Structure 1
């Protein structure tokens, strides 16, 4: 998360957003979140599974265990596995792709609504929501922007943003994806006289 919030990167990100908005009628907002869901059940399930395995081993192994070990070993294994299950990478691997995608979409739509992105004059708001734990970028255009851009172009842009977290430097790939979006928007929805910036480039929304 730190590299996305570093002042130097934020400056480059704002420049990319300004370039997009100066060349088209789109009003872009980029939001970063550490995660879209807490997935609290994941570490709990890891802990319970580890405690059960430890207790089963102690009960059925052909070895004598001291009473204190019978009591404390499952607790220790629960704590250890709970900690492992709390790691972002472990949570991501322990939750199905469909569940993660659903959480990301729900959070993106909530931010879109609460941030007022739908209130632009010509319905040209554009949210780029980056959820880091899920390693997912969700694009959410308002109606006016969505209708102005051909479906094939939207699909191409979505594929470009989908590849961001597959790269070694996702933060740099995000800037490149925004450049491609800027070119597409400038082609199909060019800027017009009197166009103003109606939305903040970055939203801090408490959900």
Structure 2
């Protein structure tokens, strides 16, 4: 899927890697061209399970799902992190990302969302000396 250049992919993966270097939380990005379900949230939830994000030890996985041609995205946090952040955290994160997306700055918006998410993850789930990277950092490109 040719949505991002190699350089853009490297920037996004680097942002995930840096974010996860500060927290025991896990962040994944899934990119489709079209929403892969009835709704963008359903698509995100489907990938959340498919990619085993619900199996992290501390239930602190976060998935960002982006459907580029449909101009839709969602952020799904597992129960551990969702229980701890302010009620408006996910909406605030989405709005921050959308402000970049509206200017055509897709990569910058994703990186901003990753960093914003990492701040909360590190607050509630700081990286421990025994932390392991439970999930891959690379972008998962869907088939849609």
Normalising by the smaller structure, the TM-score range is 0.7 to 0.9
1:116 aligns with 2:116: no
Q: CA deviation at 1:191?
A: 1.6
Unpaired runs of 5+ in structure 1? 39-101
CA contact 1:108–1:129 (8 Å) conserved in 2: yes
Considering fraction of residues, name the structure with more strand. 2
1:179 aligns with 2:115: yes
CA RMSD of aligned residues (A): 2.2
1:203 aligns with 2:134: no
Task: Determine which of 65, 68, 93 is the counterpart of 1:157.
Answer: 93
Residue-by-residue CA offset, 1:135-174 (whole Å, 9 max, x unaligned): 1220001111111222233332132233342122222222
- The CA distance in 2 between the partners of 1:169 and 1:162, in whole Å, is 9
CA contact 1:137–1:161 (8 Å) conserved in 2: no
CA contact 1:148–1:189 (8 Å) conserved in 2: no
1:1-207 aligned at under 5 Å gives the runs: 2-4=2-4, 6-37=5-36, 103-201=39-137, 202-203=139-140
Considering fraction of residues, name the structure with more helix. 1
- The CA distance in 2 between the partners of 1:153 and 1:134, in whole Å, is 24
Unpaired runs of 5+ in structure 2? none
Residue-by-residue CA offset, 1:50-78 (whole Å, 9 max, x unaligned): xxxxxxxxxxxxxxxxxxxxxxxxxxxxx
Partner of 1:92: none
| Structure with bigger gyration radius | 1
